[in-house]
Amino acid sequence: MANRRILFIVNPISGHHDKRRFREQVAREFGGGDFSCEVVFTERAGHAAELSAEAVGVYDVVAAVGGDGTLNEVARNLVGTDTVLAVIPCGSGNGLARCLHIPTDTGRALRLLRNGSVRRIDTATVNGRFFLSVAGIGLDAQTAYDFDQDPRRGFMTYAHYVATNYFHYKPDTVTIAFDGDEPVTCCPFLITFANSNQYGYNAVIAPHASLQDGLIDVCMLSRPTLLSIPSTVTRLLHGRLDKTGYLTEVQAKTITVERPAPGVVNIDGDPVMMDAFLDVRILPHSLNIIVT
């Protein structure tokens, strides 16, 4: 991608990566006259979204340097524009990057930005709130909330809250409808609205999800028995959760959910309070992104 103007939006506190030398890495990878690069570090929550909104029409590529939350902030303002998103994964789970096989090594991710190709992918919304990878209610939303309250990052912290909520979380009975069909009532342990295939950490909740099919994979998981947890986790990490017997999958363009009360929704790993009624919609081929 020669002769491109690139803005790097860096979240300095995401994940465990030390980003103090990031400007040096960019200069090393993009030195010469083919690229014009600017690196900006975010200063507060929401700053990445402000920067990406200002970048549209000014830069050819906007690179999100951080985790899935940073990626969500940056990408939401690029939807429906010609501006291209690049992903430099520096977070904890890095779900979208893993789904797209984008390297989690910063140097390799920068080289992919320089040499990769552009693809158009789907995005989605819940009650008008943008998400790029996954959204959901139930166990994953409660876990996202607990993880967000803990200053510790990483897989072990996340796994701790998954295990704790397995024993203590009580799922709600909800009414759900797909593409305007007759609604059904269910009480799953979690419901994930999957645009990409995973939460992060290679935990593949939606084995058949595609970022380009114009559909959301709705994954409804019932509570696994205690004895089946080891095999269920193994299948989750190997993209075979559909072989457990606990997962029900439905593909749809629009989904409505009626809950007993307002509650937390997992939006690309961030917990967001929303109304009892949820309206989930796919936005087909709405975002340009650099991939392998």
Asked if pLDDT for residue 52 goes beyond 90, the answer is yes
Instruction: List pLDDT tens digits, range 68-87.
Output: 989 999 999 999 999 999 99
The CATH number of 129-284, from 3.30.350.10, 3.20.20.70, 2.60.200.40, 3.10.129.10, is: 2.60.200.40
**pTM for this predicted structure:** 0.92
CA 184 remoteness from chain centre: 27
Predicted pLDDT of residue 158? 81
- Whether the Cβ atoms of residue 148 and residue 271 lie closer than 8 Å to each other: yes
pLDDT of residue 15: 65
Give me the residue spans of the domains in the chain: 4-115, 129-284
Q: What is the CATH architecture of 4-115?
A: 3-Layer(aba) Sandwich (3.40)
pLDDT at 37: 94
Q: What is the mean pLDDT of residues 55-63?
A: 97
Per-residue pLDDT tens over the stretch 196-254: 999 888 899 999 999 999 999 999 999 999 999 999 999 999 999 999 999 999 999 99
**Which pLDDT band, with edges at 50, 70 and 90, does 155 fall under?**
confident
Cβ proximity of 130 and 286 under 8 Å:
no
- 159 has a pLDDT exceeding 90: no
- Is residue 2 over pLDDT 80? no
